[in-house]
Amino acid sequence: MDPLRDGSSSRKRAGAGLLLLSPERARIHGILRSGFKATNNEAEYEALLVGLRLAREMGATAISVYSNSMLVINQILEEYQTKEDNMINYLKKAKAALEPFKHFAITQIPRENNSVADALARIASSLDLDAPESIPV
């Protein structure tokens, strides 16, 4: 399973966009919106955590994650130190969410290669909380 994911943050809330690709290349698009304020980095971790949970619930045993977040990728790969308490907690949750997978790869990609997940994340972060849950695209 290959999830492309992105997080976005606005003044009111954070959102996440997900594009899950099965080995057969079937696509599942999703958005997650939160009612809390979050930084872009926190939104990126939220997107990763949701994508991993969905992939696991769908029965994936191996996963490749593609993200345009240099910070998240390099923290998971232990190339960057994690200093802030909130980022330390997100990193712990992400590593725990990766443990059930027999194999995982995580790769940074340019933002232009993540346009679907990026657009979904922007929609999610800009939605009015009173908007309907289902939005046709």
Q: Let me know if residue 42 belongs to a domain.
A: yes
The answer to whether residue 135 is domain-embedded is no
In a domain, 137, yes or no: no
Work out whether strand 103-108 and strand 2-9 pair parallel, antiparallel, or are unpaired: unpaired
Q: Residue 73 — pLDDT band, cuts 50, 70, 90?
A: very high
Question: In this predicted model, what pLDDT tens digit does every residue of 124-133 receive, in sequence order?
Answer: 666 665 554 5
Burial 9-44, CB ≥16 within 10 A → b, else e: bbebbbbbbbbbeeeeeeeeebbbbbeeebebbbbb
In a 10 Å sphere around its CB, with 0-12 CB exposed, 13-18 middle and 19+ buried, how is residue 71 labelled?
middle
Computed on alpha carbons and rounded to an integer, the radius of gyration of the chain in Å comes to 14
Expressed as residue numbers, the domain containing 108 is 2-126
Tokens of 13: 């809330």
The CATH number given to whatever domain includes residue 37 is 3.30.420.10
Domain count for the chain: 1
Q: Does 7 map to a domain?
A: yes
pLDDT surpassing 50 at residue 8: no
Inside any domain, residue 132: no
